[in-house]
Homo-oligomer: A and B are copies of this chain.
Amino acid sequence: MDPEEFRRAGYAVVDWITDYWATLGQRPVTTQDPPGTVVAALPDAPPPEGEPVAAVLADLDRLVLPHLTHWQHPSFFGYFPANTSGPSVLGDLVSAGLGVQGMLWSTSPAATELETVLLDWLADLLGLPERFRSTGTGGGVIQDSASSATLVATLAALHRASRGRWRSTGLDRRYRAYTSTEGHSSIEKAARIAGLGSDGVRTVEVNPRTRALDPAALRAAIRADLAAGEVPAIVVATIGTTSTTAVDPLPEIGAICAEYGVWLHVDAAYAGSAAICPELRWTHAGLEYADSYCFDPHKWLLTGFDCDAFWVADAGELVEALTVLPEYLRNTASETGAVIDYRDWQVPLGRRFRALKLWFVLRWYGAEGLRAHVRSGVALAGGFADRVRADDRFEVVAPHPFALVCFRLVAGDEASAELLARVNGTGRVLLTHTRVAGRYTLRLAVGSPQTRPEHVDEAWHLLARTATEVLADLPAPA
């Protein structure tokens, strides 16, 4: 494809995306297709000869669009949002067009240096402790996801807990990771990948009302493991748990980690974005204890997946844990020690130039524009929670400091699950569910830049109307 062919096809794809966004609200949020629908519609083999881009775009309309879950839809309220925005898409397009690979500083200096600066910008915006800035021993890096951030934090923690033996001899004792019963599944996955097994994760009880980790229970778990000859390696505290956005008490957790010399990783994947607003930054109290911290601009900060921002207080420790230096990667710049080679901060060797999408987003919206986006989500969620509370068939089941509201029908699990299935079945909204203290709970998360008050209103009216039907259909209590 020569440059002029690219220009023409590029315009066509830009037009296609523009039309998609302009009409997105009119589509069903999800498909109701049975599995195999797309497989059955695709040919068995690639074409022997090339085809024009227009043919692929036509197939996108015919074979792909009707069979997606539209995460950018204004009525997508599921999981946590995975927002994107025009400037993010354009930054990513520049990255794809440049096609540079920033595994080493020397393999594209600007890719590394822009990333370093942007992570410092973000640290400022979020009010992170000084120790995470690249100007000292710390620094930030873009990971693909909070899962990978938790994994590399776990590895650095094992390296530290083993006093540097882990790197060469592997796991020589029983190491333990700690998180609350509400911690994300990626914490267990990281522990399993690191060879601790799921048994290596101690899930610590939470306060039944706030769903936040109970520091006394954490201390007890660490002491019990120490008494049994096991080695506490890492505590993962959560700011904004996945089920209910609970906020673990960092000051108390941090003090315990300091006392026992345990690595503290703070997973703020979803709620970290809120800290760009000073009035929502209370969640970061105690963060000065943390050895590492991450949040996902790809969740709530208008930057397309994948963009997790991860910081460590001691970059040297992380690099020591992860670096492997074969001859074919040796270069003069690395040997001076004056540059960052981000390959040593992550699992894969290669890296895309992901800083570009973040740069486009930060510059297009500016700090105030991003704050307005977060505040809009919090306000819309707050209004939704008020409506739920005002209807006595429903209850709000947990605090909602951010833009997620957890609620259920007072009538119980079966009614709540049926309500969710029916509203999602309309294709007009997507909500997802969790269990809170064992009880089936619906989650409504606001986050799309396209979501306006009328979309949240419509979701509420659909829920309220459908609740009437569900409750009427329920068998009478025995």
Contact = CB atoms under 8 A, between A and B. Distances in A.
Interface string A66-102: 0111111000001100111111111111101111110
A39 B6 contact: no
Contacts of A48: 366-368
Given A347-B347, A352-B306, A67 B113 contact: yes
A478 interface: no
Interface string A44-63: 11111111110110001001
B86 A96 contact: no
A379 interface: no
Given A18-B7, A37-B113, A166 B94 contact: no
A391 interface: no
Interface residues of A, number: 156
Given A7-B15, A99-B304, A324-B185, A366 B50 contact: yes
A124 interface: yes
B363 A20 contact: no
Contacts of A109: 31, 33, 35, 37-38, 67-69
Copies in the complex: 2
A242 B103 CA distance: 15
B367 A47 contact: yes
A444 to B, nearest CB: 13
Nearest to A339: B35
Contacts of A9: 86-87, 90
A376 interface: no
Interface in A115-167: 116-117, 120-121, 124-125, 144-145, 147-148, 151, 155, 158, 165-167
